[in-house]
A and B are shown apart, each in its own frame.
Chain A
Amino acid sequence: MKTVGQIDRMDQIPGLKMLGCKEALICTELRSQEGGLKEELLPDLLQSLHGEGIEGKLLFDRRVQEKDWAKVLPFLENIPVPLRVMDLGLARELDRRGLSFELDLQIGHLNYRSVEVWLEKLRGVKRICFNPQIPRRQLLPFLETLSVESECLGFGPIAMYHTPRPLLEWSGSGKSTHIKSEEMGSGSFVMKESLWGSTLYYNKTLSLLPHLSELEDAGLSCFRIDLRWLVQEELELVKKGVQERVDIRDEFPQPLLHGFYGENKSDSLFAKIGGRRSDMDRVVLGEVLDGRGRDLLVRSLGEGWDAGISVFCEDGKGRSHSFVFEGGEDLDGKALEQPGRGKLFKLKASRKFPVGTFLYGQKSPEG
C-alpha cells in the first residue's frame, strides 16, 4: 500500500520524505477547490519531487461551469502532470482524449454500484478516491472487488462544506479564520477561502491510522495523508502512527476521530425515515375535521363506507370507541349512502371526537 501526501507548498517536501510518501497530491491556486500553490511554481515543485523519487499529481477538484469550458479545455491539451478530478464532465473530457486520470468520488457515491457505473463509462480511470463516509462494513468488500486502484483519506482535515461564494472576503475577514455558532456547541471551525470559494472544516481531524492493516489486507492501494496543516511535532506523531499502525489520539495535540469508518451513526436516523403508522388489521376510512356540533364533519379517506359496518376510533385519551355507520349527509343536506374517497360529509355519531381523529374500518381478510 502506497502512502500519498497531499501538499500545497514547496516546504512540505521534507514531510513527504519523512512519512515515506511515494506520491504527492498537489493543490494549486488555479485547479484546486481549496486553493494552494501558485501554478507558475509547479514545474519547480515537480522537479524537486522527481529528485526525491516522489511522483507528483495535480488535484483538479474544482467544479467546471458551462461558461468555464473555454478556459479549461486548452489546459487539457497540454497537461503537465497526471490529474485527479472530481468534476465528471472534466473526467469525460479526459476520457475522450484517451488520457488516464484519477477520479475523486468523495462526494456522494456511498454504494458500490454508484462507483461501478462510472468505471464502466470512463475507461481512463486509474484510481478511485473513496468517500470517507463509507463505513468499514461496506468499504472492505468494495476494495476486494474493485478493478482499479483505490485510495482513501487516512489522516487529514474534513471539509464539511464548500460554497463558490467568497464569504470571508465579503465579511472582510482575510483568507482564513475560525468561526463558531452557539447552535453548534462550544467548538470553533476553520473557514478558508480560495479563488473558488469558501470551505468550512470540521474541528476534529480524521485518523484511520489504527485501521491501516485491515485496509491494506482488504486491498486498499493508497492511503492519503494531508500534510497541509501539519506542523513538525504533529508530523512526528503521524509518522509513528503510520509505521506502528497505532492510534495516536492520546498524544496528538488536536482532537482526532475515526469518522464514519467504524459505524455510520447517521444510519439510525435514516432507518426512522418512512416510519409512518402501520395499520396491520384496520383500514382508514376517514378523518374528523370538526366534531364540536351535532354531527361530525368528516372527510372520507377510503372506499369502505358500507352501511352497517362498524366504525371505530380512539379518543384523545387513547380509549377505543365504535359505532355503526348508517349513512351520512352531503353538504347540501342530501342523504349519502356511500361517501367516496375525498368527499366531505356529515356523520351522526354517538359522541363527539377531537379534530384529527381517524375513523377506521376492519381490513378485509384478503387485505
Chain B
Amino acid sequence: MNTAKFIPEILSPAGNLDKLMTACRYGADAVYVGGPRYGLRSGAENFSDEELRTGVEFAHSRGVKLYLTLNAFLHEADLEGLATYASFLEELKVDALIVSDPGVMDVLSKACDIPLHVSTQATVLNSSEAKLWKDLGATRIITGRELSLEEGADLCTGSGMEVEMFVMGAMCSAFSGHCTISNYTAGRDSNRGGCKQSCRFDFQIEGTEGSRALMSSKDLNGLEHLGTACELGIHSLKIEGRMKSSLYVAGATKAFREAIDAICQEREVPARCHEQLTMFSNRGYTEASLGSGTADEGSIAGDGSGAGPKFAWAGQVIGVSTDHAWVQLKNPLLPSEALEAITFEGENQIVETKHLEDYEGNSLEKGRQESVLRFPRGVLEEGMILRKLESE
C-alpha cells in the first residue's frame, strides 16, 4: 500500500448543511455528518432527511464523498427502524456509514450495501481486532487515537483494511467509547450523544491547593506528521469538529488541503498552513500519539497553554452577483475594521470595508450581527469566509 505519491483523503466535519458546503469549497475530499438519530453529537444541529439529500447532492456535484455517523452504542429499542433508515441512506447514495456497535453493523450489513467504517468509538487498536470487524462487513477502521501513524499503517497491512486516523481537533483523554462519567454523574449517556465533557472540568486533588484540568486533553494537531502519513499510505486523515463553526471548518480544511498538496508535489508546506491553525480557540496543541504512540505529560491541558481565538469570524458570503457579494455577518462590523477573506486556495485576501452598505446598497454606520451587507465583488465567491484581522 506504500506508494511514493500516495495522497490521503482529507475528511472534514460538517455539523450542518452550511458547514458541509464550506468543507467542500475549501478542499475536503470527504465530509462526515450526523443524521437525526443514532449518532454521538446530539448538540450538533445534525441533518434532517431533506438536508441530507441536499448535502449528498452538493458534495457529489463537487466530487466529495459523504459519510454518515451512526456511531452510538444502541439499546435494544433503538435498533428499531435502523434497517429502514439504511435503505433510505442507500437511496440517497451516502458513501459510507460510520459505526461503533457490532449490533448496528450487523443490521446495516444485511440491510444495505453501503461501505461500513468502524468508528474510533470502538477503540480498535490492533490488526487482529480489525480482522474481526472485517468479517462483519467493515471496510475501514477509524483507529483509536492512542495509535501512532506507524501503528496505523501496520494495522492496515495486517488487516487488509483501509485506515482512517484523526489529525486535528479535540480528543477524549479516555479510550473513546469507554467513558461513562456523564452517565453516572448526570444521567446523560455519553455514548449515545449526551457527553457532558466532564473531563474538561477543573479538578482538585485531595490534599492539594487549587484545581486544574487534570483529565482534559489538549487538542490534536498533526500537521507536522502529514509527510509521514503520506509515506505510510494512511488512507484518510480526519479533522474533528462537527460542533465547531464554519470558520474553523474553512480554516482547518484549507490548511490540511494545502499542506497535503504541497507534500505530494514535493514542495515545502506553506507557513500559512501552520498559522491558519493557530487562529482557532484551542486547549493547546499536542501531537498526542501520532509520532511515538505514547501521549506524554504535555498532552494534558492542565498547564494552561490553551489560547482563545486570534481572529473573530466576520461573516460568510451568501450570494454574489456580477458586481457585488452579499455577506451575512456573524459579528457586528464597523467601517474601520479590517477584513480578510479566507480564499478557497492560496493567500488570503484583504477586503475593503471603509464604506458599509446594507443588502440593498444603502449606507450604514455599522453592521449588526446576522445582518446582510453588500460588498464590492472583488475576490469574493459564494461560501467564502471572512474574518476580522484584529484580535478579539
Give every chain B residue within 8 A of A170 (Cβ-Cβ). Answer: 297, 300
Give every chain A residue within 8 A of B206 (Cβ-Cβ). Answer: 177-180, 188
Stretch at the interface among A46-54, A217-225, A269-277: A269-277
A44 an interface residue at 8 Å Cβ cutoff? no
A45 an interface residue at 8 Å Cβ cutoff? no
Please tell me if the beta carbons of A111 and B127 are within 8 angstroms of each other in the complex. no
A12 an interface residue at 8 Å Cβ cutoff? no
B268 an interface residue at 8 Å Cβ cutoff? no
Residue pairs across A and B with CB atoms within 8 Å: the count is 263
Please tell me if the beta carbons of B185 and A108 are within 8 angstroms of each other in the complex. no
Q: Which of B172-199 contact A (CB under 8 A)?
A: 173-175, 177-181, 183-185, 187-189, 191-194, 198-199
A332 an interface residue at 8 Å Cβ cutoff? yes
Give every chain A residue within 8 A of B152 (Cβ-Cβ). Answer: 66
A110 an interface residue at 8 Å Cβ cutoff? yes
Give every chain A residue within 8 A of B128 (Cβ-Cβ). Answer: 69, 88-90, 92-93
A310 an interface residue at 8 Å Cβ cutoff? no
Q: How far is the CA of A342 from the CA of B37 in the complex (A)?
A: 25
**Contact residue among B106, B127, B177, B187 (Cβ-Cβ distance under 8 Å from A266):** B187
A200 an interface residue at 8 Å Cβ cutoff? yes
Closest to B320 in A: A331
Give every chain B residue within 8 A of A112 (Cβ-Cβ). Answer: 76, 103
Least CB distance from A97 to B in Å reads: 12
With A117-B103, A179-B204 as contacts: A293 and B362 at CB distance below 8 Å: yes
A64 an interface residue at 8 Å Cβ cutoff? yes
Please tell me if the beta carbons of A66 and B297 are within 8 angstroms of each other in the complex. no
Closest to A167 in B: B214
Give every chain B residue within 8 A of A87 (Cβ-Cβ). Answer: 125-126, 129
B residues contacting the other copy or chain, number (CB 8 A) = 96
Please tell me if the beta carbons of A92 and B131 are within 8 angstroms of each other in the complex. yes
| A102-144 vs B, Cβ < 8 Å mask (1 yes, 0 no) | 0000011111111111100110000000000111001000000
**Contact residue among B48, B178, B184, B362 (Cβ-Cβ distance under 8 Å from A107):** B178
Q: How far is the CA of A97 from the CA of B203 in the complex (A)?
A: 45
Q: How far is the CA of A269 from the CA of B379 in the complex (A)?
A: 46
B100 an interface residue at 8 Å Cβ cutoff? yes
| A89-103 vs B, Cβ < 8 Å mask (1 yes, 0 no) | 111110000000000
Give every chain B residue within 8 A of A289 (Cβ-Cβ). Answer: 318, 328, 372
**Contact residue among A65, A111, A178, A181 (Cβ-Cβ distance under 8 Å from B79):** A111
Please tell me if the beta carbons of A161 and B192 are within 8 angstroms of each other in the complex. no
Please tell me if the beta carbons of A109 and B73 are within 8 angstroms of each other in the complex. yes
B392 an interface residue at 8 Å Cβ cutoff? no
B132 an interface residue at 8 Å Cβ cutoff? yes
**Contact residue among A165, A178, A260, A290 (Cβ-Cβ distance under 8 Å from B300):** A165
Give every chain B residue within 8 A of A247 (Cβ-Cβ). Answer: none
Please tell me if the beta carbons of B126 and A69 are within 8 angstroms of each other in the complex. yes
Stretch at the interface among A17-25, A238-246, A294-302, A316-324: A294-302
Q: How far is the CA of A195 from the CA of B293 in the complex (A)?
A: 16
Known pairs A88-B132, A289-B372, A344-B319 / 15 extra A-B pairs, C-beta < 8 Å = A64-B125, A67-B154, A89-B132, A92-B128, A110-B76, A111-B74, A114-B104, A138-B75, A160-B185, A167-B300, A180-B206, A181-B211, A264-B75, A273-B39, A355-B370
Q: Which 10 A-B pairs have the closest CB atoms?
A: A344-B319, A114-B103, A89-B128, A89-B129, A113-B103, A274-B36, A266-B189, A331-B321, A290-B372, A66-B151
A-B CB contact pairs (8 Å), 29 listed: A65-B146, A66-B151, A66-B154, A68-B126, A87-B126, A89-B124, A118-B102, A161-B215, A162-B179, A163-B173, A163-B215, A164-B146, A165-B173, A171-B214, A181-B198, A181-B201, A181-B203, A184-B198, A264-B75, A266-B189, A269-B192, A269-B194, A270-B193, A270-B194, A273-B39, A293-B360, A344-B318, A344-B319, A355-B371
